[in-house]
Amino acid sequence: MNYIKAFAPATVANVACGFDIFGFAIQEPGDVVEVRRIDKPGIVIKEITGDDGRLPRAAEKNAVTVVMLHLLKHLGITDLGCEVTLHKNMPLGSGMGSSAASAVAGVVAINELLGNPLTRGELLRFAMEGERIASGSAHADNVGPSLLGGFVVIRSYTPLDIFSIPVPDDLYCTLVHPDIEINTKDARYILRNEVSLKNTIAQMGNVAGLVAGLMKADYDLISRSMVDVIIEPVRSILIPEFNEVKKAAINNGALGCSISGSGPSIFALSRGMENARKAGEAMKQTFADAGIDSTLHLSGINQGGATVLERE
């Protein structure tokens, strides 16, 4: 292969109660990475679109190429030369798993270019290195679902233990991105290092309820379990109109609503596309009433994860 074009979807991490352990992929948007072999050894970034010039252009500083460099080092490959183009199709610092989508598309593209020496599961830890660059910690709740698709649970980080659970067919995601920005590092920094035992128990109950609700296709249980007593009360302070937007989603048919990743995007899950749309329009209108522009995405759950779009 001389040329690969790969797509990796946006993702919703945390999913209300599952801080750092839950994430799911949506169908769109997603980032696209192109890699093309060149004669001169080394990885260079040829072009980045859609980032308004904000991402680093040096290969050793950009998540998309850092993951490639890690993978090449792991495989002992020193003579490969390639040019990388990254098409950012979602905003930076949006809570939609932007850096994860770039890193995953990058690692899938280079692996395909090399004839797939590694499996999807094996690619995970390389993609996580991209997250370390972006947020300071190598979490997997965005890269996991972006790479593998579906609803993903990270049972453990050391050792890494990740698995997928089935979701009901009729589950749809609404994702509303207000035109403000939160730095992921800041969003982590404001969290307390200690949690009350009482809140830990409440959160565990909701984690158990959400897993069982998804696996049983019990929409009421999913709805009752989409409660976050630990992270949302702290992080939501950073998102103007959060409580009103959440109320609008719930009052307009959503099963539940919370912060997507570290925000500022807000997601809702609904039964059926029509409810997802109704909730989304109400959420967008609530932001608009407060003078905040926002972008609305409606999508089913992406079951396949990252894909290769073109090969040459």
Comparison of 181 and 220: residue with beta carbon closer to a second copy? 220
User: What does residue 97 show for φ and ψ, rounded to 5 degrees?
Assistant: 75, 40
Instruction: Candidates 230, 239, 254, 259: give the one binding a second copy (CB under 8 A).
Output: 230
Q: Applying CB under 8 A, which part among 98-106, 108-116, 123-131, 196-204 lies near a second copy?
A: 196-204
* Rounded Cα gap, residues 125 and 123, in angstroms: 6
Is cis: bond before 159, omega within 30 of 0?
Answer: yes
* Rounded Cα gap, residues 276 and 265, in angstroms: 15
Read off the tokens for 129: 């290195």
Q: What is the largest CA-CA distance in the chain?
A: 60
Residue 221 binding a second copy, by CB under 8 A? yes
The catalytically annotated residue of 34, 112, 129, 131 is 131
Beta carbons within 10 angstroms of residue 74's beta carbon: 13
The catalytically annotated residue of 184, 232, 241, 286 is 184
Contact characters 116-135, a second copy, x per CB under 8 A? --------------------
Q: Is 78 known to be catalytic?
A: no
Alpha-carbon torsion, ordered 222, 225, 230, 234, to 10 deg: 60
Q: Applying CB under 8 A, which part among 56-64, 200-208, 285-293, 303-311 lies near a second copy?
A: 200-208
Q: Is 184 known to be catalytic?
A: yes
Comparison of 105 and 230: residue with beta carbon closer to a second copy? 230
Q: Which residues are within 8 A (CB) of 213 and not within 5 positions of it... i.e. 6 or more apart? A: 219, 220, 221, 222, 223, 224, 225
Residues 175 and 96: beta-carbon distance below 8 Å: yes
Comparison of 85 and 164: residue with beta carbon closer to a second copy? 164
Contact characters 165-184, a second copy, x per CB under 8 A? x-------------------
Three-state secondary structure call for residue 97: coil
For the annotated catalytic residues, the residue numbers are 131, 184
For binding to a second copy (CB under 8 A), which residues are involved?
17-22, 153-157, 161, 163, 165, 191-198, 200-209, 211-212, 215-216, 221, 224-225, 230
